[in-house]
């Protein structure tokens, strides 16, 4: 990994992944593991893991149907923790840190299928530097 996208820290970055399907979980494990992330998984069915996380990655099937409420609840549960929202309904041309991200209360929005480079780049921009 090049230095620009190497966001490893002395200790693993705790990352909460919400509502990811098994295929996405596998990719996230591989890709985010490369930059020193340790993933915890939760569903949207009231599952509310506690603890401190450096980043939240949320898979939202339909952002207009419950997405903003889910992101608001996660922001309340984990104040100050940046959120990356993933959805197949986001267009690839949407600015990852633009108006849609601000409207949803996310630090970044990424369209699915997400590329390794886009995900790692967003994570490295948002994870704390050691």
Q: What is the pLDDT of residue 3?
A: 42
Q: What is the pLDDT of residue 130?
A: 61
Going by C-alpha positions, the residue among 82, 85, 79, 71 that lies closest to residue 128 is 82
User: Would you say 23 and 94 are in contact if contact means Cβ atoms under 8 Å apart?
Assistant: no
- Cα–Cα distance measured from residue 44 to residue 95, given in angstroms and rounded to the nearest whole number: 26
Q: What is the pLDDT of residue 81?
A: 96
Q: Which two tokens stand for residue 125?
A: 């921009």
CATH of segment(s) 3-126: 3.40.50.2300
C-alpha distance from residue 93 to each of 52, 55, 76, 89 (Å): 32, 23, 29, 12
- Cα–Cα distance measured from residue 100 to residue 106, given in angstroms and rounded to the nearest whole number: 8
pTM value is 0.88
């Amino acid at each position: 990994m090049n230095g620009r996208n190497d966001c490893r820290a002395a200790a693993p970055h705790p990352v909460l992944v919400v509502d990811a399907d098994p295929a996405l979980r596998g990719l996230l494990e591989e890709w985010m593991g490369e930059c020193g992330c340790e993933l915890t998984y939760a569903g949207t069915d009231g599952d509310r893991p506690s603890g401190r996380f450096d980043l939240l990655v949320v898979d939202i099937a339909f952002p207009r149907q419950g997405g903003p409420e889910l992101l608001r609840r996660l922001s309340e549960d984990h104040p100050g923790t940046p959120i990356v929202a993933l959805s197949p309904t986001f267009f690839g041309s949407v600015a990852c840190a633009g108006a849609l991200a601000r409207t949803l209360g996310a630090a970044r929005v990424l369209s699915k299928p997400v590329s390794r480079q886009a995900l790692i780049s967003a994570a490295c921009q948002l994870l704390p530097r050691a």
